[in-house]
Structure 1
Amino acid sequence: MTTNILLVIHKNQNIGEVIQACLTDLVGWNVEVASSSEECLRQASFYQPEAIILDVAIGEIDALLFLKQLKTQPETQGIPVLLVTLKAK
């Protein structure tokens, strides 16, 4: 059986790990977590994940600019990206 890989990029490592634990335990995906755009680019090129979950409030770079970077690189342009954001009161 092949394990699907999902890449989560979230500036808060703890939230990334919660997403990782949920998706691993609930659906059995192999989830990798990156906490910066640079780390995500490296991991996306290396792992070739089935999809990327990208925190809109990534911090060091605008999420849409980063998405454009992903889509201009041949090795990552075909990877679907889901944009998410979390806001606590």
Structure 2
Amino acid sequence: MARRVLIVDDEADIRAIVQAALEELAGWQTLEAASGAEGLRLAQETAIDAILLDISIPDMDGFEIYETLKTHPATADIPVIVLTSKVLARDRARFTALQVAGLITKPFNPITLAQQIAALLHWSP
């Protein structure tokens, strides 16, 4: 069965690149959310294997989204990989404290993105 990954990012171009990389190169299914609220709704209503989460989203920041995901019974166990361009030293410490499954920085290589995700989540090819 194909993996299902939710992409939460307010940038349409980023969502499109990630979607193409994961669907075309890895054969995974993707769902897209342009806002934190939409991402939370989709994660609660749909069976998701992992979430790629941007930190800089206008309606809620990624930290708020992550905290909400981890407190809701339907989403608490979904692994979250942060996909962001803003990685300050204090943010790295915060990601570690939150126990996110991993961190991928923008710009990323679309060709190797699925491999990076699979390695972070210990998914076999």
1:53 is matched with 52
Shift of 1:9: 0.4
| 1:25-44 aligned within 5 A | 25-44=24-43
Shift of 1:59: 2.2
2:67 is matched with 68
Shift of 1:17: 1.3
Query: Which deviations, in whole Å up to 9, do the C-alpha atoms of 1:21-50 show, x marking residues without a partner?
Result: 111011000011100011111111122210
Length-normalised TM-score, structure 2: 0.65
2:116 is matched with none
Tell me the matched-pair count: 87
* Structure 1 gaps, min length 5: none
Q: Does the 8 A contact of 2:37 with 2:59 survive in 1?
A: no
Q: Does the 8 A contact of 1:7 with 1:51 survive in 2?
A: yes
Q: Does the 8 A contact of 1:48 with 1:76 survive in 2?
A: no
Residue 12 of structure 1 aligns to which amino acid in structure 2?
E
2:10 is matched with 11
Length-normalised TM-score, structure 1: 0.89
Q: Distance in 1 between matches of 2:69 and 2:20?
A: 25
Q: Distance in 2 between matches of 1:18 and 1:71?
A: 27
User: What is the alpha-carbon root mean square deviation over aligned residues?
Assistant: 1.4
Where relative contact order (Cα < 8 A, 6+ residues apart) is larger, the structure is: 1
Shift of 1:14: 2.0
Compare 58-67 and 35-44 and name the one that shifted more.
58-67
Compare 74-83 and 56-65 and name the one that shifted more.
56-65
Residue 63 of structure 2 aligns to which amino acid in structure 1?
L
SS in 1 for 2:59: coil
SS in 1 for 2:25: helix
* Greater Rg by CA: 2
